[in-house]
Structure 1
Amino acid sequence: MNYFIIVLQCIVALSILNVWLVQPKKATRWRGGNATTIIEEFKVYGLPVWMCYLVGTLKVLLALGLIAAIWYPELKQPSSLGLAALLLGSITMHFKISDPLIKSFPAALFMTMCLLIAFL
């Protein structure tokens, strides 16, 4: 059992769950544009509100998949690659609206961690 990968799985999963379930209405320095909530952020990106709910549901399910993958390893690669794809979308949206590069940092960091989880 690779404890480094398990630690990465926990960090990524708990961080994603925190963003989407605990702090969706909290302003952070990482939100796109001048958005103060996740829904505002999706509007800044020019995306419909339903897309926020779809992406949020997928991210929560995939984060739970990363946690479950500790006991069911066959879930590790699909969960981490699914999250990596969604995080690449986050980075793309920051570039789309010309956000400062630093706003993409968390998404880029977690995408990298997801790729490490998937391929190590």
Structure 2
Amino acid sequence: MEYIVIAAKIIIFISIINVWFFRFNKSTEWRAGNAKSMKAEFEAYGLNDTIMYIVGGLKIISATLLLISIWIPILAVPAAAIMALLMLGAIGMHIKVSDALKKSLPALFFLLLSLLILANSYGIF
């Protein structure tokens, strides 16, 4: 199970860094509505730039802490809990704008990985 949890942490880290640094101004099939960039996606949700940068910062910090938690396990719980909450928020935003279920799948996947990390941290797995 240890290797699965490590893989989950790495997957979350790489994915969040990819979205927020490399795909920030690029269109993807997962963006809300017809948004072609992160800014347009947050506008579709009715959220401003300040919220976008706060959410992005929290995701990047949480993902980085998840990666570091491979070597410093005490960081896993707060990082995974914050990531899980952010992913719940992302799913909620997709529902708010009536997106197709498909657009919520990445957030659902990262929510499940975060919950797996939390469960492992508490000895459930």
Query: Which digits, 9 at most, give the CA deviation of each residue in 1:32-88, with x for residues without a partner?
Result: 010010111000000111100000011000000001001100001110110010011
Aligned to 1:15: 15
Alignment partners' CA distance in 2, 1:97 and 1:4: 34
> What letter corresponds to residue 41 of structure 1 in structure 2?
E
1:69 aligns with 69
The amino acid across from 2:38 in the alignment is I
**Distance in 1 of aligned mates of 2:42 and 2:68:** 29
- Identity level (%): 43
Residue in structure 2 matched with residue 102 of structure 1 by the alignment: 102
Q: RMSD of aligned C-alpha atoms? A: 1.0
Structure 1 unaligned regions, length at least 5: none
Query: Quick one: distance in 1 between partners of 2:106 and 2:11?
Result: 12
The offset of 1:118, in angstroms, is: 1.0
Q: What is the DSSP-based 3-state SS (H/G/I as helix, E as strand, rest coil) of the residue aligned with 1:28?
A: coil
Question: What is the DSSP-based 3-state SS (H/G/I as helix, E as strand, rest coil) of the residue aligned with 2:30?
Answer: coil
Q: CA separation in 1, counterparts of 2:5 and 2:80?
A: 11
Q: Distance in 1 between matches of 2:21 and 2:72?
A: 24
Q: In structure 2, what is the equivalent of residue 116 of structure 1?
A: 116
TM-score where L is the length of structure 1: 0.97
Q: Tell me which residue corresponds to 2:123.
A: none
1:42 is aligned to 42
CA separation in 2, counterparts of 1:11 and 1:81? Answer: 16
Residue aligned with 1:31, SS: coil
The CA deviation at 1:17 is 0.9
Following superposition, which runs of at least 4 residues in structure 1 exceed 2 angstroms of deviation?
none
